[in-house]
Every structure is written in structure tokens, then in C-alpha cells.
Amino acid sequence: MDICIKKGGGVFSIMLMVAFGLSACHKPIPVTSGLGAESITNEIPPATYLKVDNEALSEKLTISDVKHRMTNDLLEINIELSSQYEKSLKLQYHFNWFDKNGFVVEINKASWQPLELHGHQSKILRGVSPSSNVTSFNVYVRSASSNAYKN
């Protein structure tokens, strides 16, 4: 009887050590008002970078990939925006750039860029920060009227 308790206790101890070991390796995702420089990692879900105020539109869009690098002290971004909708979407987007404290850099200077996504299409959106003070970003997407696409 004593032997069975020791075996069971040993298994329990091993399970407990494995559980503690796994939890020690887990790194929580940092929460900031903007996304800190250390937050631009593969640990952050790509959807975190997308800002859409229209709920119906937000259900039709996803970000499937985010790549970043520093080029001449500027943050360079490639975001793959994908349509989950079967019809074409006429959109506009712009990047918001944040400093290490989460403050917007060069507010209201980003121009809206036209973007048309056909049914289930993906496109790469490329952005380069306006300043070397930028450590994070998000991309704001909105519906565009058909007038935005007329010449």
C-alpha cells in the first residue's frame, strides 16, 4: 500500500513540475495604450494592429501577417490585409504611428490611401514611419464611397 502511494505521489510531483515549468516559459502579452516596440513581435495576434470602427466592416477584414524592420532609424511595416467577404470592398486606410509612450506622432498628417479588395483577396499594405521616434503603429481602415475611386 505504501508503495502505491509513493508511485502516485511521484507521478503527481512530476505533473506539478511540468505544469510549473510550462507556466514559467509563458510570456504575457504586454498591454499598452499604443503597441510598444517590444510588442511588435510574433506573439501579438495580427488583428491587434487593425482598427476598424464599423463592426460590419471589421467582420469582413483580417490581418494575416505583420512584418516590420528598422530602416535608417525608421520603422518599416508590411501588413497583409485580407478580405473575408465574397464581394469587392472599396476602402481607405492610413497608418497611425506612436512613440514609446503611446502618443501619436505627427497627428492628422497621414493621408487616406484608396484600397479595393476583391472577393477574398489579400493585399500588402506598406508603411514607413514619419520619424525615428516611432516605436509602434496600427492601421485604420474605413469604407470609402464610390466617389473616392472616380478620376
> Tens digit of pLDDT for each residue in 6-26?
444 544 444 434 444 434 443
Give the C-alpha separation, 56 to 68, whole Å: 28
Between these two residues, 140 and 8, which has the higher pLDDT value? 140
How many Cα atoms sit within 13 Å of 75 on the Cβ side? 27
> At residue 131, does pLDDT exceed 80?
yes
The reported pLDDT for the residue numbered 125 is 97
| pLDDT > 90 in the chain, percent | 56
Give tens-digit pLDDT for 45-60: 777 889 998 999 999 9
> At residue 91, does pLDDT exceed 90?
yes
> At residue 148, does pLDDT exceed 50?
yes
The CATH architecture annotation of domain 37-149 reads: Sandwich (2.60)
| pTM for this predicted structure | 0.66
Q: Is 115 helix (H, G, I), strand (E, B) or coil?
A: strand
| Domain range annotation of the chain | 37-149
Considering only 1-5, 48-52, 130-134, which range has the smallest mean pLDDT?
A: 1-5
Between these two residues, 45 and 70, which has the higher pLDDT value? 70
> At residue 137, does pLDDT exceed 60?
yes
Query: What mean pLDDT, rounded, does the chain reach?
Result: 76
**Which residue in 111, 108, 115 sits closest to 148, CA to CA?**
115
Between these two residues, 45 and 84, which has the higher pLDDT value? 84
3-state helix, strand and coil shares in percent for the chain, rounded to the nearest 5? 25, 35, 40
The reported pLDDT for the residue numbered 43 is 60
Between these two residues, 15 and 62, which has the higher pLDDT value? 62
